[in-house]
Structure 1
Amino acid sequence: MGTRAFLIPYLIALVLEGIPVFYIELAIGQCLRRGSIGVWTAVSPYLGLGCLTVSFLVSLYYNTVLSWVLWYLLNSFQDPLPWSSCPLDINRTGAFEAECQASSTVSYFWYRQTLNITADISDNGSIQWRLLACLAASWAVVYLCVIRGIETTGKAIYFTALFPYLVLTIFLIRGLTLPGAVRGLIYLFTPNVQTLRNPRVWLDAATQIFFSLSLAFGGHIAFASYNPPRNNCEKDAVTVALVNSLTSLYASIAVFSVLGFKAANDHGNLLRLLNAFDLPDQSISRDDYAAVLAHLNATQPESVARLPLEVCQLEDFLDKSASGTGLAFVVFTEAVLHMPGAPGWAVLFFGMLFTLGLSSMFGNLEGIITPLLDLGVLRRSVPKEVLTGLVCLLCFLSATCFALQSGSYWLQVFDSYAAPLNLIIFAFFEVVGIAYVYGMPRFSDDIACMTGRRPGLYWRVTWKVVSPLLLLTIFVAYIAVLAWTPLSYRAWDPQYVGPLGATGSHFGPALAFPWCHTWQDGCPKLQEGGAS
C-alpha cells in the first residue's frame, strides 16, 4: 500500500483511538495499583486474563524475531559479509549454488542459510540448532533485564531507549548523502489519494496503533501501577504517544533514504543491462532483474529477447520493499552491501533492532508477570526472580516450534491471527468498561484526585462515543476481511528456478478457502493445494 498512504489514517487513528485508550490504561493502573487482572476485576476478570494470554502469545514469536536479529548481528562481524556472495556448490567444483544464483545472495542467506526453510507449512522439517541457540540466548538476555521487575528494567531501558536514536541519526546522516535518497523521501511524503480509497489501508492503520503503542497487552497497566499516586498520567499519555509516533516518523525518514538509494541502485543496474545488451527502454522490470541477470551469466545474450518483460518504475521498488521481515533481513541487508564499510553498518543496524526488540519485550513480560503476582500463583515467600525465570523458560520451550524449518511460516500465522483481533476486542471492552461499567463520573473523580483536574471534553467524548464506535467498526471490518480474503503466508520454493521466482501454497484453518496466494521474491503465482 505504501507508507505514504499509511500516514494519514494512522494519525487519525492515533488521535481518536490510540491516545484515549492509552490514557485509560495508564490512569487505571496508577489509580488501582495492580496489573491487568486486578484492575479489570470490577469489569470482568476474563478481560485481564485475555490481556495476559495475548502478551504470552506475542512474546513467543516476538522473541523469535529477536533471535533472528541476534543471528544476523553475530554474522555481521565478518568482512566480507556472509550474504554478499553466493557459496560454492559442494557437489560441483568451482560452481555456485544454483538456488542462490536463481534468487539473490541476500535472499539465499535469509531463506536457506538462516531459516533453511521448507517449501510449505505442512513440512515441519527439523530443529535448526543455531536458531534454537540464538532463541535461548535472546530469552536469557530478556530474563537478565527483567529479573527483578521494574528495578532492573528501569536501568536497562536507559540504554535500549537511547541507543536506537543514536543509530537512527547515524543512518539518517549517511542515508541523506547517498544517491537516490531524495527520491525515497519524496515517495514517503507524497500522499497517494487513490490508495486512501482502499478500506484496507484504514483498517491496517487502525490495527497498527495497537502494536505501535502496545495497547491492550496489559504492560502499560503494570508499569503505571508503579507510578507515584499523584503522577500526571494525562501528560504521560499524550507525551509518550506523540514521542512514539514522531520516533516512527524519524525512523521512516532514515529507512526510506536508504531504501531510495537501494531502489536507485537497482534501477541503475537495469539501465546498464538495457544498454549492454541493446534492449528496448523500460523492457526489464525489477521482478525479473535477478533472474535475468542469472540467466545472462549462464547463457547467450540473445536469450534476453525472449523473456517476459514489463515497465520499470523507481516507485515499484519502494512499493515492494517495505513489507514484513523482508524489509530488515532482505531489502535493508542488500542496501547495506552497497555502502562503504558494510560490516560496520550491519552491526549498527542489527544492534539497533536488537535493543528495540528488548524494549518491547520488557512490556510484554511485565504484562505476564504482574498479573501472575496478583493471582498469587506462587507463595509470596518465593522470590520474584523464580517466577520470572519460570515464565521465560515456559516461553522458550513453547517457542521452539519457531526454530523448525517451517518456523517462519508458523510465525507468520501467529503474527496475522494471534493478536490483532483479540487486541481490538480487549480495547473495546476496556473503553466500554471504564465509560459505562466503572462509570465516567467515578473515573473522572479518580483522575482529578491524581492529576488535580477532571478530564476535558475531548477525553469524555472519545471515551464514551468516538473510541467505542471506532473500535466496533474496526472489529466488524476485520471480520469481513477475514471472511472474504483468503488466508495466506509467504512461501519459498527452492526447486523453482526461473524469471518469475514464485510459488503458491495454502493455509486454511477456520475458514476453508480452496486456494490462496503467497509470494517469493515479490512475484505472485497461484497454485492449488493445502496444508493440514
Structure 2
Amino acid sequence: MSAENSPDARPREEWTGQLGFILSAIGSAVGLGNIWRFPGVAYENGGGAFLVPYLIALVTAGIPILYLDYAIGHRFRGSSPLALRRISRWFETLGWFQVAICFAIAVYYTAVIAWALSFFWYSFGLRWGDDTTTFFLVDYLRVADVGGADPWFTLDFVPAVLIPLVLVWVVTIVILSAGVAGGLQRVNVLFMPLLLVAFGVLVIRALTLPGAADGLNALFTPDWSSLRDANVWIAAYGQIFFSLSIAFGIMITYASYRRRRANLTSPGLVVAFANSGFELFAGIGVFAALGFLAGRQGVAFGELEGISGPILSFVTFPALVSEMPAGTLFGALFFGSLVMAGFTSLVSILQVVSAAFQEKLAISRRRAALVIGGVAGVLSVLGFSTTTGLIALDTLDNWANNIGIVSSAVLLCVLVVWVGRRGAELRFHLNSVSTLQIGGWWTFCVGVLAPVVLGWMLVSRVRTLLVEGYGGYAPWYLGVMGWGAIAAFVVFAVLLTLTPWRFPVGDHTPWPRYDKFVAPQPRERKETPA
C-alpha cells in the first residue's frame, strides 16, 4: 500500500478539546475496581496508614508511567503496536502483547457489566430477597460445583446473564463504530458527570446512616506498624497501577488522538488525582454503608464478610440496600454507577484493539468495530454467560492483571528507557508541549524505581501462583486458563508482529525535532565590517 494510505497521510481522529480528553481518560481510569477494590485493599493493609504508601506509589510510579504512555502515544502518533514500532521495530511485539491483554480483559469485563445491568433491574422490587449470597451464586449465576461432578467448562447458558451481555456488546460496537469524538468522547462526557452525581448521592446518604462512623473508623484508623510490611507497599503500588489504566496500551492510544500542540503533563495530573480522589470518595461511601450494615446485623465491623470484589457489589451491597430506607432508589443508583463506571472503561480497552487493527490492516473503524466486537462478543458469550463463567472470569482476571499487565509495565520501562534509550527524548517531548515541566526525577522513576518495584511484584506473584496455586482450582485448569492465556498472548503478539503492515511505517517524523536540541548546530560567525 502506498504512503498516501498511511495514518500519517490521512487526517487522524482527534479529541475535540482538552476537556473531552480529560473526561475520557478519567472514564478509562475510573472503573469497577475503584468502587469495589480500593476500600478493601486499604482496610486490609493498615487503614488510614495505607494512604502513605498509596500516595508515594502514585507519585513515584502511577504518574511517571502515565506520562510515559502519554509521551509515546503523542510523539509517535499511533496505537501501541505502531507507536512502539516507531521507536524500534523489535518493540512492536510488546504493543501486540498489550493488545492481547486488552482483548482478553474486554471479553470477561463485559460479563461484570452485564451483572450490574441485571442487578440494576432487580433493584426495582429488591428481587434478590433476604439471602443475597444464594441469589447471586445459585439463582442468578447458577454456578457449577466444580469440586463435584460438574465439569469445569459447560455450554449451559444462563439467560439472565446472556441477554444483558448481548445488549452490552451491541451498544459497545455502535460506540466504537462512531469513532473517537463521536463515540468514545460523547459517552464519557455524558457518563462521567452522571456517575459523579449518582455516586455522590449514595455517599451523602451513606454518611447519614446509623453506624456510618463505625465503618469510617474501620477504614481510616491507622495501623502504623503495617508500614514495615513489604506486602503493604506492594499492595499500594498494585492498587495505583491497576486503577490508572497504564502500561497496557490505553493511554498510549488515547494520547495519540491529541493535537500536536496539546498539553500533556497538567491534564495527566488531573486524571491521576481525579482517579485517586474517586477511589477515596468511593471508599468513604462504601465503608459508611458497611458500618450501617454491621449495626443492623448486630455484629462487629471486623466480622463482616465480603468487603471487596464482586461479592461486595453483588452480595453484600444488595443485603445493605434491603436494609436501607428507600432501598430501591439507592440500589438503582449503586448498580447504575457500576454500569457507567464499567462501560467507560470497557470502551477504552476495546479502542486499543480496534485502533491497532485499523492501522495494521488499513481498515475502517466500522469494519474493525464489527469484526473485533463480533469475535469478542462470541467468545464472551461462550465463556462467561454459562454456569462456569464465574470461575473462568476469576482465573483469567487474575492472570491478565497480575501477570500480563505487570509484565507489560516492566518491559515497557526497560525497553523504552534502557534498550531504546528514549528516556531523554520522551522527557524532552513532554516538556516541549506542556506547561508543567518535569525534571530528571521522571527518568529515574520510569527507568529504575518503577521497574524494580513492579518486577518485585511480578516475581512474588509468579512464585505464589506456582507454589500455592489459586482459588483452590485444579492445577491443570490454572495451566489452561491462567498460564495458557499468557502463552496465548505471547503467540498472538509474535504472529501479529510477523504480519506485514499495509503501509510504510518508517516514514514518520516525530515532532518537535529532538536532534536539533541534542546536537545544536554552531552559530555562524558575524563578519566585522572593514
TM-score by length of 2: 0.76
Alpha-carbon distance between aligned partners in 2 of 1:333 and 1:167, rounded to the nearest angstrom: 17
**26-35 or 425-434, which deviates more:** 425-434
Contact 1:26–1:224 under 8 Å retained in 2? yes
Aligned partners of 1:222 and 1:440: how far apart in 2? 19
Q: Distance in 2 between matches of 1:510 and 1:172?
A: 39
Deviation, 1:3, is 2.0
Extract unaligned runs of 5+ from structure 2: 1-39, 481-530
How much does 1:390 deviate? 1.4
The answer to whether residue 56 in structure 2 is matched with residue 12 in structure 1 is yes
Match of 2:302 in 1: 315
Deviation at 1:447, TM superposition (A): 2.6
Asked whether the 8 Å contact 2:248–2:409 carries over to 1, the reply is no
Correspondence for 1:84: 129
Tell me the amino acid that sits aligned with residue 64 of structure 1: A
State the alpha-carbon separation in 2 of the partners of residues 83 and 140 from structure 1.
27
Q: Which letter maps to 1:135?
A: L
Partner of 1:385: 366
C-alpha displacement of 1:454 = 5.8
Residue 196 of structure 1: how far off its partner (Å): 4.3
User: How far apart in 2 are the matches of 1:441 and 1:131?
Assistant: 49
- Residue 295 of structure 1 corresponds to none
Tell whether 2:294 aligns with 1:263: yes
1:288-303 mapped onto 2 (5 Å cutoff) = none
Q: Kindly indicate whether the alpha-carbon contact (under 8 Å) linking 1:402 and 1:408 is maintained by their aligned counterparts in 2.
A: yes
Q: Which of 425, 434, 443 is 2:426 aligned to?
A: 443
SS of the residue corresponding to residue 215 of structure 1 reads: coil
The Cα shift of 1:245 comes to 0.3
**Structure 1 residue runs without a partner (length 5+):** 86-104, 271-312, 490-504, 513-532
Residue of structure 2 equivalent to 1:203: 234
- Which residue does 2:499 correspond to in 1? none
| 1:405–1:509 Cα change, 3 Å | closer
- Looking at structure 1, the residues matched to 339 and 41 of structure 2 have their Cα atoms a distance apart, in angstroms, of 25
- Structure 2 distance, partners of 1:463, 1:10, is 17
Partner of 1:285: none
Taking a change above 3 Å as real, the CA distance of residues 314 and 454 of structure 1, as seen in their structure-2 partners, is: closer
The CA distance in 2 between the partners of 1:217 and 1:262, in whole Å, is 38
Give the counterpart letter for 2:301 in structure 1. L
User: Is structure 2 residue 401 aligned with structure 1 residue 419?
Assistant: yes
How far, CA to CA, are the matches of 2:477 and 2:138 in structure 1? 27
- For structure 1, which segment, 187-196 or 249-258, has the greater mean C-alpha deviation from structure 2 after superposition? 187-196
Name the SS of the counterpart of 1:29 in structure 2.
helix
- The reply on whether 1:127 has 2:148 as its aligned counterpart is no
Conserved? CA contact 1:180–1:264, under 8 Å: yes
Please say if residues 114 and 168 of structure 2, whose CA atoms lie closer than 8 Å, have aligned partners that are also in contact.
yes
**2:204 is the alignment partner of 1:173:** yes
Paired with 1:59 and 1:216, the residues of 2 have a C-alpha distance of 16
Measured after TM superposition, the shift of residue 477 of structure 1 is 2.0
Shift of 1:453: 7.4
The reply to whether residue 39 of structure 1 matches residue 73 of structure 2 is: no
Which is further off, 107-116 or 463-472? 463-472
1:34-57 deviation digits (Å, cap 9, x = unpaired): 110011112411110011000001
2:168 partner letter: S
Native 8 Å contact 1:127 1:405 kept in 2: yes
Deviation at 1:372, TM superposition (A): 1.0
CA distance in 1, matches of 2:411, 2:469: 28
Amino acid at match of 1:328: S
Q: Distance in 2 between matches of 1:259 and 1:430?
A: 39
Q: Structure 1 residues 208, 452: CA separation in 2 closer, same or farther (over 3 Å shift)?
A: closer
Superposed, 1:368-379 pairs within 5 Å as 368-376=353-361, 379=362
Are the structure 2 counterparts of residues 124 and 471 from structure 1 closer, same or farther at C-alpha, using a change threshold of 3 Å? closer
Q: Is the 8 A contact 1:181 1:258 kept in 2?
A: yes
Q: TM-score, normalised by structure 1?
A: 0.76
Q: Confirm or deny that 1:336 pairs with 2:321.
A: yes
Task: Name the aligned partner's letter for residue 390 of structure 1.
Answer: V
Secondary structure in structure 2 of the residue aligned to 1:216: coil
Shift of 1:364: 0.2
Task: Give per-residue Cα distances to partners, 1:311-365, cap 9 Å, x unaligned.
Answer: xx33222xx3312210000001100001112111111111111000111012101
% identity of equivalent residues: 27
| 1:210–1:423 contact (8 Å) kept in structure 2 | no
1:388 CA displacement: 0.6
Q: CA deviation at 1:232?
A: 1.6
Would you say the 8 A contact 1:118–1:124 is kept in 2? no
**Equivalent residue, structure 2, for 1:61:** 108
Matched, 1:456 2:443: no
Instruction: Tell me by how many angstroms 1:9 deviates.
Output: 3.0
Alignment of 1:152-191 (within 5 A): 152-191=183-222
1:111 Cα deviation from its structure 2 partner: 1.0
Selected match of 1:396 from 377, 400, 414: 377
**Distance in 2 between the 1:54 and 1:226 partners?**
21
Given the alignment of the two structures, is residue 114 of structure 1 paired with residue 161 of structure 2, yes or no?
A: no
1:483 to 446, 466, 475: 466
8 Å contact from structure 1 (residues 59, 361) kept in 2: yes
Aligned to 1:411, what secondary structure does the other structure show? Answer: helix
- Give how far 1:460 is off: 2.4
Q: Structure 2 CA distance, aligned partners of 1:217 and 1:196?
A: 29
1:408 offset after TM fit, Å? 0.5
Relative to structure 1, the CA distance from residue 455 to residue 195 in structure 2 (aligned partners, 3 Å threshold; closer, same or farther) is closer
Structure (1 or 2) with the greater helix fraction = 2
CA contact (8 A) 1:203 1:478 kept: no
Shift of 1:509: 4.6
Given the alignment of the two structures, is residue 3 of structure 1 paired with residue 42 of structure 2, yes or no? Answer: yes
1:327 matched to 2:312? The reply is yes
**Aligned AA (1:339):** M
Q: Deviations over 1:135-185 (max 9, x none)?
A: 101111222222222121111111221111111211111111111100101
Partner of residue 334, structure 2: 349
Count of matched residue pairs: 426
Name the counterpart of 1:102.
none
User: Which fold has the larger relative contact order, with Cα–Cα distance below 8 Å and residues 6 or more apart in sequence?
Assistant: 2
Whether the 8 Å contact between 1:203 and 1:477 is mirrored in structure 2 is no
Deviations 1:75-103 (A, max 9, x none): 2223xx11124xxxxxxxxxxxxxxxxxx
Distance 1:397 1:361 in 2: 16
Is structure 2 residue 98 aligned with structure 1 residue 70?
Answer: no
Closer/same/farther in 2, CA of residues 120 and 249 from structure 1, 3 Å limit:
same
